[in-house]
Amino acid sequence: MVLGILNVLSAVSLLFIAAVGLAVIFGVMGVVNLAHGEFIMLGAYASVIVVKLGLPVSVSLIVAPLAVGMIALLLEPIFFRYLYGRVMESILATWGLSIVLRQAAQLIFGAGYQSVPYPTDATITVLTTQISFYRVLAIFLALVIGLGVLWIEKRTNLGTTARAVMSNAGLASTLGVNIGRIYAGTLVFGAALAGLAGAFLAPLTSAYPSMGLSFLTNSFFAVLVGGLGSLPGLAFASGMLGSTQQIVAIFIDPVWGSVALVIVALILVRWRGTA
């Protein structure tokens, strides 16, 4: 029972961690980034490289966000800059980017799974059941990230400026806010969060070139259900979708769990639309 609850919370947390980078980018800039899954994938491969270099795997939790953030920074002036405010183009163009990144990863790392060791194999015992500490750690990481982003949003000047840009970019510009810089910064931040997610998820799923796809749709569903620009909404959506998936997975099957997630997402969005 306790194991079940912790598993559900862990699944919800993992979904949240994967989706938060997307939510930040989408919320502030309105850019649809279909290459979000690939940013996660790059973070996972960063872990692989860290391990290959002989460093402890927990270092990847710092290296991955930096690396992926840097990649986003490089891509901003040559690619993302042309997409601000253009929804259909950004869907297609970032889909193209995701194809390119996937193929590049396949060429560089090979198509197979590359496993990444857990930073810790510890287990904790709760009421006579043993649970992997790492999975429980996911819950804490989700809380830290969620509260951290919320703190930035509500308590820092940067957060206030970002919220202003999200609310009315034109007005912010006339007040002297360099919205180009805000957009670029948000992109890098969101990408770094995705990279962090990838590094954290790598031991659980192993790194493989098309891993991004399995996170992409779920992340988007979480963001769409949770509502644009709302971190609490994302938390709620992760809760609803993640727990549905996990519960169905436990009682029936992981595959039907994924199906259930999509069905619940469809229902929630449809009903919210008519409310």
Partner 1 sequence: MSWPPGIAIAHSGIDRLRLTSVGANCLIVALLASAPLWVSQYFATDILARAMLLAILALALDLAWGCCGILSLGHSAFFGLGAYAMAIVALRWDSGLAPYVGFVLAILLPALLAAVVGWFMFFGVTSSLYVAIVTLSLPVLLSAIDLRIPKLTGGLTGLSGIPSFPWAEPLYTYYLLLGALMLAIVIVTWIVRSDFGRLLMAVRDNEERARFFGYNTPALRLFIFALSAGLAGYAGALYAPYNGFVSHDLLGLVLSTSAIVWVAIGGRGTAAGPVAGALLVNILEPTLNAAFPGFWQLFLGLIFTVVVLLLPSGLFGLVGSRRPPRRGFQIIDAPPGRRTRDRMTVAARKLNLSFGSLAVLHELNLEIETGKLHCLIGPNGAGKSTLVDVITGRLRASAGDIVIDGAQAAFLPPNVIVHRGVMRTFQASNVFETQRIGDNLFLAACRRELALLTQSTNQIAMPVDARRVLQLSGLDRKLDTFAGELGHGERKWLELCMVLTAQPAIIILDEPTAGLSSIDRANVGEVLISLVREHSLGLLLIEHDLDFVKSIAERLSVLSQGTIVADGSVQAVAESPVVRQIYLGHTNAHE
Partner 2 sequence: MLCVTDVESGYGDLTILRRISFELAPGEVLAVLGHNGVGKSTLLRTIIGQLRARKGEISYAGKSLLGLKPYHIANRGISYIPQEAALFPDLSVVKNLHVAFGSRKDFGIACDHALAAFPFLRNRLHQRAGTLSGGEQKMLLVARSMLVSPRLILADEVTEGVQPMQVSRIAEVLRACREHDGTAMLIVEQHLDFALGIADRFVLMKQGMIVSAGATSSRGARVEIERQLAL
- The crossing angle, in degrees rounded to 10, of helices 254-274 and 231-251 is 140
**Degrees to nearest 5, angle at CA 203 with 256 and 258:** 10
C-beta of 131 vs 177, nearer to partner 2: 177
Q: Closer CB to partner 1, residue 73 or residue 262?
A: 262
The residues, any chain, with a CB within 8 Å of residue 98's CB and separated by 6 or more, are 34, 35, 37, 38, 212, 216
Nearest alpha carbon to residue 220 among 104, 91, 120, 63? 91
Q: What is the separation, in whole angstroms, between the first and last Cα of the chain?
A: 35
Residue 217 interaction partner, one of partner 2, partner 1, none, beta carbon < 5-8 Å per kind? partner 1
- Residues in binding contact with partner 2, number by CB under 8 A: 18
Instruction: Please tell me the number of Cα atoms within 13 Å of 36 on its side-chain side.
Output: 31
Residues in the chain: 275
Residue closer to partner 1 (CB basis): 91 or 179: 91
At its nearest, how many Å lie between partner 1 and the CB of residue 266? Answer: 4
Q: Write down the least CB distance from residue 164 to partner 2, Å.
A: 4
Least distance from partner 1 to the Cβ atom of residue 88, Å? 6
Among 240, 234, 262, smallest CA distance to 27 is for 234
Question: Could you tell me the smallest distance in angstroms from the CB atom of residue 250 to partner 1?
Answer: 16
Binders of partner 2 among residues 130 to 189 (CB under 8 A) are: 157, 160-161, 163-164, 167-168, 170-180
In the window 195-214, what residues touch partner 2 (CB under 8 A)? none
CB of 173 to partner 2, least distance (A): 4
**Which does residue 214 touch among partner 1, partner 2, none (CB within 5 to 8 A, set by kind)?**
partner 1
120 contacts partner 2 (rule: CB under 8 A): no
Looking at the Cβ atoms of 181 and 270, the one nearer to partner 2 is 181
Query: Shortest gap between Cβ of 163 and partner 2 (angstroms)?
Result: 6
Binding interface with partner 1 (CB under 8 A):
32, 34, 82, 87-89, 91-93, 95-97, 99-100, 102-104, 106-107, 210, 213-214, 216-217, 220-221, 224, 253, 255-256, 258-259, 262, 266-267, 269-274
Q: What span, in angstroms and rounded, lies between the C-alpha atoms of 235 and 215? A: 16
d(CA 124, CA 139): 14
Alpha-helix runs per DSSP H in the chain: 2-29, 36-52, 60-78, 87-109, 133-155, 157-167, 169-174, 179-205, 211-226, 231-251, 254-274
Nearer to partner 2, 92 or 227 (CB): 227
Residues near partner 2 (CB under 8 A) are: 157, 160-161, 163-164, 167-168, 170-180
